[in-house]
Amino acid sequence: MSDFTTFNAEARERAGKGAARAVRKTGRIPAVIYGDSKDPSSISLEPLEYKKAIIGGGFFSTVFEIKVGGKTEKVLARDVQLHPVTDRPLHLDFLRLGKNTKVTVAVPVNFINEVESPGLKRGGVLNIVRHDLDLVCRGDAIPQSIEIDLTGLEIGDGVHISAVTLPEGVVPDITDRDFTIATVAPPTVMKSVEEEEAEEAAAAEAAEAAEAEAAEGDEE
């Protein structure tokens, strides 16, 4: 990844609940950076930068750069503590990404080629079982999304993780089963061929009867 969202942070000398409350009184968000066999770093963030990042989506699967004290660290958001009433961020946890750091992230699924699915063309419904996939990969190689090709899927077919081509070095977190990602379900009401033929025959008979009545009326 070449472009990163950047947080301009300030270092905090003290940690703990009291220090965090003091930071929040100044209008900033307390946070901590940990991992990569280094000591945790206590920092504070500008709320506007956090708001822009969270609105952008994929907050927990995006690699951020945090600039603090003349240094820049690449991190992944691991936890956000929110106020129970206002949803205001109270504290953020970031995982420091080293050269070989592996992480588990939820990556969104993107379905493509719906028009190439015979089942969907016949009125089938795409039943999405998983909107994102828990994947294990290097922190510097997190895919933005995983594409699922629906070409050729009939009603009753399903897409399993074994049928998905993942980027090199990326593996599913669940390895003990071939889990389902989506299925093509039948319509809520699916008429049989016999039902459709019966309805067509009834409509034809009704039309013939109406024509006969009209003809009799003309003769009178």
Cβ neighbors of 163 (< 8 A, separation 6 or more) are none
* Mean pLDDT score, 170-194: 85
pLDDT tens, position by position, 116-162: 999 999 999 999 999 999 999 988 888 989 999 999 999 999 999 99
Can you list the domains of the chain with their CATH numbers?
5-98 (2.40.240.10), 103-185 (2.170.120.20)
pLDDT band of residue 219 (cuts 50, 70, 90) is low
Q: Identify the burial level of 18 via C-beta atoms within 10 angstroms of its C-beta, where 0-12 means exposed, 13-18 middle and 19 or more buried.
A: exposed
pLDDT band of residue 215 (cuts 50, 70, 90) is low
* Mean pLDDT score, 107-119: 95
Under a CB-based contact definition with an 8 Å cutoff, are residues 32 and 21 in contact? Answer: no
Provide DSSP, 104-154.
EEEEEEEEE-GGG-HHHHTT-EEEES-SEEEEEEETT---S-EEEE-TTPP
Q: Where do we find the tokens 């933005």?
A: 144
Residue 214 pLDDT greater than 80, yes or no: no
pLDDT band of residue 207 (cuts 50, 70, 90) is confident
Give the model's pLDDT for residue 160. Answer: 96
Give the model's pLDDT for residue 187. Answer: 86
Question: Which tokens hold the place of 64?
Answer: 């951020």
d(CA 22, CA 177): 48
Look over the chain and give the mean of its residue pLDDT values, rounded to a whole number.
Answer: 88
- Please report, for residues 133, 134, 138, 143, the alpha-carbon distance to residue 169 in angstroms, rounded to integers and kept in the order given: 15, 14, 8, 11
d(CA 166, CA 126): 21
Question: Which tokens hold the place of 202?
Answer: 């009834």
* Mean pLDDT score, 209-219: 63
* Mean pLDDT score, 94-100: 89
Give the model's pLDDT for residue 203. Answer: 75
Residue 65 pLDDT greater than 90, yes or no: yes
Question: Which tokens hold the place of 55?
Answer: 């609105």
Q: pTM of the prediction?
A: 0.70
d(CA 154, CA 66): 47
